Amino acid sequence: MKQYQGYLIDLDGTIYLGKEVIPAGKRFVERLQAQNLPFLFVTNNTTKTPAAVAKRLADEFDIHVSDQAVYTASLATIDFMKETNKGNRVFVIGESGLIDLILSAGFVWDEQQPDYVVIGLDTDVTYEKMALAALAIRKGALFIGTNPDKSIPTERGLLPGAGSFISLMETATQVKPIMIGKPNAVIMKEALKVLGKNKEEVLMVGDNYETDIQSGLQNGIDTLLVLSGFTAKEAVPSLPKQPTHIVDSLDEWTF
């Protein structure tokens, strides 16, 4: 079997499921650490900073990694804006995990003439925020969507995700956004840079065929589908394109 030099790993459904650790996922991370294999957690979640994600992994799941091992759609958005170099004025619809990171990266808040409008998940979204974003996009601000997730799983059931707000804004402005998060190319390209590996050397690991596995399939990266979360085993035979590898549990994977 091909020996991979680095791993891009999903979190929810792969390493933990909601508020419960997946034991095989925890062991998978510990085996990577023991063998000094580089890895990066890649998540579409923009509500938490990498430091907050790392703290949660330690406090709730006894998984100990540095915040440098966590790459969020927020960080990918910042890296993309820096590379685009359109300016430094920004208006953001999102939560502190997104806004604080963007402002700390040197961008300046501007509701009237921003160079970028960034839309992520915002549980306090208002009509006025959407109105300001729509006006700015119509004036020429670059429209960026942090991730395409239309819904997010919660204890209450599936609730609107960032993708729902982004779709609303696309309808309102008739402008297509640049999408950052999985399975889009932007986050995968930036994650490979952070990991310091070429795509041929890396394996994308996740439980969700539509996001994690498509991230690999659409961007030329080998994939490992673990049947511990979103994609059910019964669905595998009917998948339009098969992942490179499939396991019931990450305990089955050997390095």
Please list the active-site residues.
10, 12
Contacts of residue 151, Cβ cutoff 8 Å, sequence gap at least 6: 158, 159, 160, 161, 163, 164
Q: Which residues pair with 151 in a beta bridge?
A: 160
Tokens linked to 25: 């996922």
Please provide the size of the chain in residues.
Answer: 255
Can you list the positions of beta strands (E) in the chain? Answer: 6-9, 16-17, 20-21, 39-43, 70-72, 89-93, 108-109, 116-119, 142-145, 151-154, 157-160, 178-179, 202-206, 222-226, 245-247
Eight-state DSSP code of residue 85: T
- Please say whether the dihedral angle defined by the alpha carbons of residues 12, 219, 192 and 252, taken in this order, is positive or negative: positive
Tokens linked to 126: 């208002």
